[in-house]
């Protein structure tokens, strides 16, 4: 349905303008495709009228890296580094599709209500129910109406092999699924679920070099080329991963990914904390995207990603929340705020610091670039698809009136998204998601969980002593496990 937003504030070069924005569709295109057809003062009304007075219109942001089913473990994993955190996480991943569906719904709702209109779900699969897992998440995303990029999280090496062996020649059990079976699974996921015209995109997303063979990365790159899919992976999130790459390949992980031909303009890489200047140059040359997950990096003690260096080198940067067990939220505006001001502590040259308008551009256009849809999304431009968010500037958290984008990015907006559209379809109206019964969602999340403080993770017990030794931490008499 076409509509016209009247008298809404939009950012322009010199400040802000009050304009009308027309959203319509080209009759020659399928009805799905609603685009921005005009932006200007006092436009003719097309379709229904949306009152934009005292509201700020921005392109929808991209939650460019998350793992939806981690929502079932938010708040519970103690403050430990990634390698131990992962060991615990995988001992307690959801085991049924209903939970996957509910956490995808929850992730989508929190993303929409904090300015995101697209989500990249690096989706943890239930062993033996892989296609059902993807089906459950896709069902949730289609229902809520968010644009989703679903990258089944695949690996072909066991979790313990993600820790450097430090010269101790560790042996590992084989992974539960072979490389060949994993690539066949991806082929089936693509066949069944990759439908960009419905807002559901499949991406290839091997979890990272630390848990994947070269053959798996090459197979994923090949599928990506054959079907035009985006590529995703974790990259150098921790110091242990940097040591592991040097141990395994005798070069940096980035060099190895480049040698595997995995880096490209449609490749987005989560975290990127432990890269050196040569690595950064390679990301710039291959036009790869860094997905910045500042809260997760802080929560897991992974480090501060050199975001200002990426920007100076011309590397595209987007923002992600990361999964809810390492954040432990899906508040995209919070991730953008922390991910912007955190870096002021890393460089005394304040001219390198990220301004609120640059944060908006990274979150919207930067996110779109990382998904290779910058021609379609990411800015208020006539002809682009209508993935839009309208913020209520009379909301208490955005008052008193100063610079709207400054208030949004540097402040702590609470329930400030009054409308959101994906492809021209309303997904948030009057500060509420349109297609989801929030009370029913809350009830289901409540009913399927319990208050809990301490669990025993067998995998942590297995790997903790070795992790401490490799990271040159003193041996312990009593560990976290
Ligand atoms: Zn992640």
Q: Could you please report the per-residue DSSP string of 200-237?
A: EEE-B-B--GGG--HHHHHHHHHHHHHHT--EEEEE--
Report how far ligand 1's centroid is from the alpha carbon of 204 (Å): 14
Among left, alpha and beta (phi > 0; psi -120 to 50; other), residue 177 is beta
Q: Could you tell me the distance, in angstroms and rounded to a whole number, from the CA of residue 393 to the centre of ligand 1? A: 33
| pLDDT recorded at residue 480 | 67
CA of 395 to the centre of ligand 1 (A): 33
> What is the separation of C-alpha 155 from the centre of its chain, rounded to a whole number of angstroms?
19
pTM of the model: 0.97
The pLDDT of residue 167 is 74
pLDDT attached to residue 25 = 83
- Is residue 273 within 8 A of residue 304, CB to CB? The reply is yes
Instruction: Specify the higher pLDDT residue, 264 or 478.
Output: 264
Task: State the average pLDDT over residues 68-92.
Answer: 94
Ranges assigned E (strand) in 393-464:
417-422, 425-429, 432-433
| Cα of 321 from ligand 1 centre, angstroms | 9
With cut-offs at 50, 70 and 90, classify the pLDDT of residue 161: confident
Structural domains for the chain: 3-59+379-438 (2.30.40.10), 61-370 (3.20.20.140)
Q: What is the Å distance from ligand 1's center to 118 Cα?
A: 16
Ligand 1 centroid, distance to 7 Cα (angstroms): 40
**Gap from CA of 229 to ligand 1 centroid (Å):** 19
Where is average pLDDT lowest: 133-142, 148-157, 230-239, 447-456? 447-456
Query: Ligand 1 centre and the CA of 207: distance in Å?
Result: 8
pLDDT score of 241: 95
Distance (angstroms) between ligand 1 centre and the Cα of 24 equals: 36
Q: How many Å lie between the centroid of ligand 1 and the Cα of residue 317?
A: 16
Instruction: Read off the pLDDT of residues 5-58 as tens digits, 9 standing for 90 and up.
Output: 999 999 999 899 999 999 998 766 655 679 999 999 999 999 999 999 999 999
Phi/psi for 426 (5° steps) reads: -70, 125
User: What's the gap in Å between 325 CA and the centre of ligand 1?
Assistant: 10
Span from the CA of 121 to the centroid of ligand 1 (angstroms): 9
- Ligand 1 centroid to 421 CA: how many Å? 27
Answer for the pair 232, 265: CB distance below 8 angstroms, yes or no.
Answer: no
Q: pLDDT higher for 478 or 226?
A: 226
Token readout for 6 is: 């009247």
- For residues 349-375, give the mean pLDDT: 98
Which range, of 99-113, 350-364, 379-393, 465-479, averages the lowest pLDDT?
465-479
- Evaluate whether 57 touches 381 at the Cβ level (below 8 Å): no
Q: How many whole angstroms from 212 Cα to the centroid of ligand 1?
A: 15
- Cα of 384 to ligand 1 centre, how many Å? 29
Residues facing 355 on adjacent strands = none
| Percentage with pLDDT > 70 across the chain | 98
Residue 449: strand, helix, or coil: coil
Collapsing DSSP to helix, strand or coil, 420 comes out as strand
Tell me the CA–centroid distance for residue 37 and ligand 1, in Å.
Answer: 37
* pLDDT band with cut points at 50, 70 and 90 for residue 159: confident
Each residue of 308-323: pLDDT tens digit?
999 999 999 999 999 9
Q: Which residue has the higher pLDDT, 447 or 160?
A: 447
- Any residues with CB less than 8 A from the CB of 456 and at least 6 apart, and which? 481
Burial (Cβ within 10 Å: 0-12, 13-18, ≥19) of residue 97: middle
Q: According to the model, what pLDDT value does residue 165 have?
A: 79
**pLDDT reported for residue 171:** 79
CA of 22 to the centre of ligand 1 (A): 37
Residues in the chain: 481
Specify the pLDDT at position 355: 98
pLDDT of 479 reads 64
Identify the band that residue 476 occupies on the pLDDT scale cut at 50, 70 and 90: confident
pLDDT, one tens digit per residue, over 208-245 is 999 999 999 999 999 999 999 999 999 999 999 999 99
Largest CA distance in the chain: 75
Question: What distance in angstroms lies between residue 134's CA and the mean position of ligand 1's atoms?
Answer: 17
Q: Ligand 1 centre and the CA of 477: distance in Å?
A: 31
Classify residue 69 by its DSSP letter: G
Residue-wise pLDDT for 85-118, tens only, equals 999 999 998 789 999 999 999 999 999 999 999 9
What is the share, in percent, of the chain residues with pLDDT greater than 90? 88
């Amino acid at each position: 349905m076409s509509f016209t937003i009247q008298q809404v504030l939009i950012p322009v070069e010199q400040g802000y303008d009050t304009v009308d924005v027309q959203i319509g569709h080209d009759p020659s295109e399928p009805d799905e495709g609603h685009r921005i057809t005009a932006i200007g003062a006092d436009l003719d009304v097309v379709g229904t009228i949306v009152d934009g007075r005292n509201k700020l219109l921005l392109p929808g942001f991209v939650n460019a890296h998350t793992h939806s089913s981690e929502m079932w473990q938010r708040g519970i994993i103690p403050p430990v580094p990634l390698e131990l955190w992962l060991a615990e996480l995988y001992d307690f991943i959801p085991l049924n599709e209903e939970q996957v569906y509910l956490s995808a719904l929850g992730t989508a709702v929190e993303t929409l209500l904090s300015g995101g209109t697209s989500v990249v779900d690096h989706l943890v699969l239930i062993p033996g129910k892989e296609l059902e897992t993807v089906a459950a998440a896709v069902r949730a995303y289609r229902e809520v109406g968010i644009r989703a990029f679903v990258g089944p999280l695949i690996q072909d090496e066991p979790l313990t092999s993600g820790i450097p062996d430090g010269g101790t020649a560790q042996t590992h059990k084989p992974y539960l699924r072979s490389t060949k079976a994993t690539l066949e699974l991806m082929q089936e996921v693509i066949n069944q679920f990759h439908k960009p015209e419905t807002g559901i995109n499949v991406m290839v997303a091997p979890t990272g070099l630390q848990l994947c063979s070269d053959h798996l990365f090459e197979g994923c790159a090949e599928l990506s080329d054959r079907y035009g899919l985006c590529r995703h992976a974790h990259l150098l999130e921790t110091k242990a991963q940097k040591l592991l790459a040097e141990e395994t390949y005798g070069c940096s992980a980035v060099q190895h990914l480049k040698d595997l031909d995995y880096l490209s303009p449609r490749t987005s890489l989560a975290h990127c904390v432990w890269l050196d200047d040569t690595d950064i140059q390679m990301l710039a040359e291959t036009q790869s995207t860094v997905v910045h997950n500042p809260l997760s990096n802080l929560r897991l003690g992974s480090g501060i990603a050199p975001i200002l260096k990426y920007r100076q080198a011309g590397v595209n940067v987007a923002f992600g929340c990361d999964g809810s067990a390492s954040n432990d939220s899906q508040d995209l505006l919070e991730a953008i705020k922390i991910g912007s001001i955190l870096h002021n502590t890393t460089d005394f040259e304040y001219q390198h610091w990220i301004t609120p308008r640059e944060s908006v551009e990274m979150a919207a256009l930067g996110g779109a670039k990382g998904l290779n849809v910058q021609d379609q999304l990411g800015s208020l431009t006539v002809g682009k698809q209508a993935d839009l968010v309208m913020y209520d500037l009379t909301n208490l958290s955005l008052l008193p009136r100063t610079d709207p984008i400054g208030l949004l990015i540097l402040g702590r907006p609470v329930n400030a998204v009054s409308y959101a559209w994906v492809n021209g379809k309303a997904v948030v109206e009057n500060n509420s998601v349109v297609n989801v019964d929030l009370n029913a969602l809350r009830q289901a999340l409540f009913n399927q969980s319990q208050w809990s403080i301490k669990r025993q993770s067998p995998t942590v017990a297995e790997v903790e002593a070795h992790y401490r030794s490799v990271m040159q931490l003193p041996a312990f008499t009593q560990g976290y496990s």
